[in-house]
Structure 1
């Protein structure tokens, strides 16, 4: 299971990448830094919350994980 700190760190880094790319797309599509930035910020906030919830749900699922040195699979 991942720690919450690891999940949050992954979510923050992933969303920073998404924020930058979405801001560029928003700027290219609208021609406005303000509108593109607002779209990117809203998208990033929604994506961040969704990603954290998604990762925490998957952290509770043991299917497909390997355990120990013997490589025993569950599921």
Structure 2
């Protein structure tokens, strides 16, 4: 199970990368830096919280996980 801090760190690093990509694409299409920054910021704010919640929700779901058996026996 991941810690909240790990999920938060992953969310931040992903959103930074995604913001650069989104802003770059908007700038390439429009040539307007302030509009690209606005779209990138709005995209980041909304999707950051969605991603974080998604990570925490999946952390509660056991689908696809394997239980690790203890390496010792008593």
Q: TM-score, normalised by structure 1?
A: 0.87
1:26 Cα deviation (Å)? 1.1
Which structure 2 residues correspond to residues 21-32 of structure 1 after superposition, within 5 A?
21-32=21-32
Q: Distance in 2 between matches of 1:5 and 1:49?
A: 14
1:69 Cα deviation (Å)? 4.3
2:44 maps to 1:44: yes
Q: Distance in 2 between matches of 1:37 and 1:21?
A: 11
| Structure 1 unaligned regions, length at least 5 | 71-75
Structure in which a larger fraction of residues adopt strand = 1
1:29 Cα deviation (Å)? 1.4
Q: Which has the higher contact order (CA 8 A, sep 6+)?
A: 2
Larger Rg: 2
| Structure 2 unaligned regions, length at least 5 | none
Aligned-residue RMSD, C-alpha: 1.2
Equivalenced residue count is 70
Q: TM-score, normalised by structure 2?
A: 0.88
Which structure 2 residues correspond to residues 7-22 of structure 1 after superposition, within 5 A?
7-22=7-22
